[in-house]
Amino acid sequence: MSANLSPEYLKAEESYKAAKDPAEKLRYLEMMLTAIPKHKGTDKMQADIKRRIAKTKELLEKKSGGAKRYNPFKVEREGVGQIAIVGVPNSGKSALVGNLTNAKCTVADYPFTTTKPIPGMMAFENVQIQLVDLPPVSAEYTEPIMVGMIRNTDGAILVFDLQSDDPLGDIEVVREVLGKHKVELSRNPAEKFTPDGVAHLKTLLVGSKLDVGGAQENLDLVKELYEKEFTILGTSTEDGVGLDDIREKVFNMLNIIRVYTKTPGKEPDFTDPVSLKIGATVKDFASNIHKDFAKELKFAKIWSKSESKFDGQKVNRDESLIDGDVIELHI
């Protein structure tokens, strides 16, 4: 039986042969396993690829000292939150991340151009949020360790191509694959982890290529079917439409507030806010500044947007804070 290898497979194989770094070789091998046709004619090839994947992982473990398994999806957190960018091949993930952040993402018109996590920092007003462009989610093969990384992020953007013949099917592929690994995507889950081991992830749906003919009709269809489950936006990286909306929605997904410090007798510093979870108190703010401040705090003064407070009002350590509050600590 003929193998009938796809262009995607041949491209991945070519990149594998040219790669020098074992970590890069591993990613291209995984791409080859994803792209290879699944039938009896490729059984031996699939087995050989799996053998090479196992051997390369073993090599990487030895290079790292053997203490821990090599994890290509370990991304150190930066900023006020970490958001996973997920989607099927050629969904427009990399173009979106490249336009929202400082990340150097590879954008091409063939699948699986993203082979490893690529983090970038997205600015929203005076805070930075980390977006992580991930390899595509595929029904044929998705690296379980990648899903493990997704589980622990603060939220996700599911990117789908508005030019696709089946944008609804593309969305469902991502939901179903992640669902098999106990990751549930929704607008605003009540809790992150439930006793059944499922990770419930706050998710924003973003349709890419809004500038293409017929895209608005596809976006309207997606909204009609999913608007009860998700917040849905359309964007175009060609003209920047929708990018500011995405920044704001992602910030709101994090459920954080920005609180500012004020030294007695001086103006507040609005350039470097303290980020806290919604519901945080003056005590939480003080602990964030210095672990001993909460113990030694006598009182605080607050400047707030809240109509129930006046500028410079003295408050106790249990006072709840809102976004934009300015706090002056007295130790």
pLDDT band at 1 (very low <50, low <70, confident <90, very high): very low
At a CB cut-off of 8 Å and minimum separation 6, what does 80 contact? 127, 128, 129, 254, 256, 275
Q: Within 10 A of 79 (CB to CB), how many other CB atoms are there?
A: 18
Amino acid at 272: D
Q: What mean pLDDT is predicted for residues 46-55? A: 86
* Residue 75 per-residue DSSP state: -
Q: What mean pLDDT is predicted for residues 173-181? A: 95
Q: Which of 21, 240, 251 is CA-nearest to residue 116?
A: 21
Comparing 17-31, 214-228, 250-264, 281-295, the range with the smallest average pLDDT is 17-31
Report the pLDDT value the prediction gives residue 204, as an integer from 0 to 100.
98
Q: Pick 303 or 37 by higher pLDDT.
A: 303
pLDDT band at 274 (very low <50, low <70, confident <90, very high): very high
Q: Pick 67 or 155 by higher pLDDT.
A: 155
CATH superfamily, domain at 82-253: P-loop containing nucleotide triphosphate hydrolases (3.40.50.300)
Whether the Cβ atoms of residue 258 and residue 323 lie closer than 8 Å to each other: yes
pTM for the full model? 0.77
CATH number of 256-330: 3.10.20.30
State the Cα–Cα distance between residues 172 and 232, nearest whole angstrom. Answer: 15
Q: Is residue 217 predicted with pLDDT exceeding 60?
A: yes
Q: Pick 56 or 133 by higher pLDDT.
A: 133
Task: Provide the 3-class DSSP secondary structure of residue 10.
Answer: helix
The position carrying tokens 């469902």 is 172
Report the pLDDT value the prediction gives residue 44, as an integer from 0 to 100.
86
State the Cα–Cα distance between residues 209 and 189, nearest whole angstrom. Answer: 28
* Residue percentage of the chain with pLDDT more than 90: 59
Q: Which of 255, 256, 170, 182 is CA-nearest to residue 206?
A: 170
The residue count for the chain:
331
Q: What mean pLDDT is predicted for residues 105-131? A: 77
Q: Is residue 3 predicted with pLDDT exceeding 80?
A: no
Report the chain's mean pLDDT, rounded to a whole number: 88
Indicate the domain borders of the chain: 7-63, 82-253, 256-330
Q: Is residue 241 predicted with pLDDT exceeding 50?
A: yes
Report the pLDDT value the prediction gives residue 14, as an integer from 0 to 100.
87
Q: Is residue 50 predicted with pLDDT exceeding 50?
A: yes
Q: What mean pLDDT is predicted for residues 193-210? A: 94
77-114 pLDDT, tens digit each? 999 999 999 999 989 999 999 999 976 655 555 455 55
The position carrying tokens 């129930």 is 308
Q: Pick 67 or 301 by higher pLDDT.
A: 301
Q: What mean pLDDT is predicted for residues 54-65? A: 76
Element (H, E) at 100: helix 93-100
Q: What mean pLDDT is predicted for residues 177-198? A: 93
61-73 pLDDT, tens digit each? 777 665 556 677 7
Strands 231-234 and 199-208, sheet pairing = parallel
* Residue 103 per-residue DSSP state: -
